[in-house]
């Protein structure tokens, strides 16, 4: 196999030329959007989930708290508030000017929007909506608490005399005003079932932008899985196999890696739930409990799968491919699952044979894309048990037929 450095050099030669492929003349596949409203490089997906049983209202406990800024900062200092730091550090979300205007609102006694949080078993709070606001306040009042550079106010609209000030530069009365400001926190208590928490938070908008399922998982399930998914999604292997075309803005890249882990830890043939989101949440909890040795093994299998997919499918890895259409489709999450997991289960020698016979794999795959049942299994209701098993089975069949030829 080539090294990571080789993968990075080859990435420069295979930047995406297009993000769409046509299923029918004049038809473009829908894509997910990033924070700027641009294509994320990932095909929109219909998981087709449903709630089979209603929630018990008696198990839902939501409280409204009004802690002061000072009390919230104490929680941050004691690590009893989880801000999921890499969750809010996407470039361009909040500029220094925007952060300064928020501090100006506090100084002007303008009420800030409600913060939404989930209570953990150890009484910690995971901030799901309001991370940017709380991080901005912490950066201004006590930047060391979040290991950030001090915020120096810039571009104030009304209190222009304080432009260039840090917190310590403010008059004591204004420092006190900020520290004693009460913020409204809607807290979902720890006794509330996890699936109910996710259902509630899925309805919340952040600045008019609904949180993605992976953003919710990241916020509500702390632990080693967070950093491990980051490692996989930022590896040269993943970037090369996806032609650097998957935007990390909404964590689609991490969800794809999580889906690889979920089906690596739970064989697809044993998949037996209609709650695909719950299946992925369970996988995150499992990853949190794995040993370093087990994580290294999964990482090695992931590298093998990414290398194999890149070499076998080339620029069409994890993408729908149709005869007589040269434009590439966006990355498809269901195809990512079946190609990566099936390759991870193959030996290095088998992958070598598949690479040598890549044209035969391509022919078999395009024949498969003529099957409406398979296309449906990677396009609509992708969390359905029968569809999950069908698409994994068919991808495995293609590999085996090419190996046996």
Over range 8-28, report the average pLDDT.
38
| pLDDT at position 389 over 50 | yes
Over range 30-47, report the average pLDDT.
73
Cβ proximity of 62 and 186 under 8 Å: yes
**pLDDT band, residue 131 (cuts 50/70/90):** confident
| pLDDT at position 25 over 80 | no
**pLDDT band, residue 121 (cuts 50/70/90):** confident
Cα–Cα dist 264/340, whole Å: 9
| pLDDT at position 14 over 60 | no
What pLDDT is attached to residue 372?
94
CB atoms within 10 A of CB 84: 19
**pLDDT band, residue 59 (cuts 50/70/90):** confident
Concatenating the DSSP letter of every residue in 237-252 gives: HHHHHTTT-S-STTSH
| pLDDT at position 35 over 70 | no
Per mean pLDDT, which range of 30-34, 48-52, 144-148, 312-316 is the poorest?
A: 48-52
Take residue 56 and report the two structure tokens written for it: 């018990």
Where along the chain do its domains lie?
Answer: 4-51+213-404, 61-191
What pLDDT is attached to residue 331?
95
Alpha-helical runs (H) found in 37-145: 69-77, 96-107, 131-141
What pLDDT is attached to residue 84?
67
What are the CA-CA distances from residue 181 to residues 67, 108, 131 (Å)? Answer: 8, 11, 17
294-317 pLDDT, tens digit each = 999 999 999 999 999 999 999 999
What pLDDT is attached to residue 47?
77
What pLDDT is attached to residue 15?
31
Cβ proximity of 363 and 256 under 8 Å: no
Identify which of 129-138, 208-217, 341-350 has the greatest average pLDDT.
341-350
232-287 pLDDT, tens digit each = 999 999 999 999 999 888 899 999 999 999 999 999 999 998 899 999 999 999 99
Cβ proximity of 162 and 153 under 8 Å: yes
- Collapse the DSSP code of 339 into the 3-class scheme (helix H, G, I; strand E, B; otherwise coil) and give the result: helix
What pLDDT is attached to residue 209?
64
149-207 pLDDT, tens digit each = 999 999 999 999 999 999 999 999 999 999 999 999 999 998 888 888 888 887 765 55
Cβ proximity of 104 and 57 under 8 Å: no
- Collapse the DSSP code of 236 into the 3-class scheme (helix H, G, I; strand E, B; otherwise coil) and give the result: helix
Cα–Cα dist 190/124, whole Å: 10
What pLDDT is attached to residue 3?
42
306-350 pLDDT, tens digit each = 999 999 999 999 999 987 766 788 999 999 999 999 999 999 999
Cβ proximity of 337 and 263 under 8 Å: yes
| pLDDT at position 88 over 80 | no
For the chain, the average pLDDT equals: 87
């Amino acid at each position: 196999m080539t090294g990571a450095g080789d993968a990075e050099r080859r990435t420069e030669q295979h930047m995406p030329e297009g993000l769409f492929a046509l299923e029918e003349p004049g038809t473009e596949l829908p894509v997910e959007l990033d924070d700027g409203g641009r294509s994320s490089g990932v095909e929109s997906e219909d998981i087709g989930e449903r709630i089979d049983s209603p929630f018990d209202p008696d198990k839902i406990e939501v409280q409204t708290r009004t802690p002061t800024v000072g009390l919230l900062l104490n929680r941050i200092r004691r690590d009893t508030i989880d801000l999921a730091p890499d969750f809010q550090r996407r470039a361009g979300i909040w500029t220094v000017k925007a952060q300064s205007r928020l501090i100006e609102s506090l100084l002007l006694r303008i009420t800030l929007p409600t913060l939404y949080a989930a209570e953990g078993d150890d009484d910690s709070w995971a901030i799901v909506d309001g991370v940017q606001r709380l991080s901005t306040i912490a950066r201004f009042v006590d930047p060391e608490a979040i290991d950030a550079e001090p915020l120096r106010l810039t571009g104030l609209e009304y209190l222009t005399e304080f432009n260039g000030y840090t917190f310590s530069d403010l008059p004591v009365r204004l420092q006190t005003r900020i520290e004693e400001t009460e913020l409204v926190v809607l807290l979902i208590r720890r006794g509330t079932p996890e699936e109910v928490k996710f259902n509630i938070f899925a309805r919340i908008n952040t600045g008019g932008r609904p949180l993605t399922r992976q953003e919710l998982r990241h916020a509500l399930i702390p632990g080693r899985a967070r950093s491990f998914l980051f490692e996989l999604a930022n590896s040269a292997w993943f970037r090369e196999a996806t032609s650097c075309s998957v935007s990390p803005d909404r964590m689609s890249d991490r969800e794809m890696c999580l889906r690889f882990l979920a089906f690596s830890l739970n064989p697809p043939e044993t998949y037996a739930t209609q709650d695909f989101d719950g299946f992925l949440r369970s996988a995150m909890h499992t990853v949190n409990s794995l040993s370093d040795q087990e994580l290294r093994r999964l990482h090695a299998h992931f590298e093998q799968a990414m290398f194999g997919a890149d070499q076998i499918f080339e620029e069409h890895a994890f993408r729908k491919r149709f005869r007589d259409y040269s434009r590439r489709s966006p990355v498809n999450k269901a195809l990512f699952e079946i190609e990566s997991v099936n390759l991870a289960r193959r030996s290095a020698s088998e992958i070598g044979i598949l690479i040598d016979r890549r044209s035969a794999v391509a022919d078999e795959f395009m024949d498969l894309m003529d099957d409406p049942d398979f296309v449906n299994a990677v396009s609509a209701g992708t969390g359905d048990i029968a569809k999950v098993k069908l698409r994994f089975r068919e991808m495995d069949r293609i590999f085996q037929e090419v190996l046996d030829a």
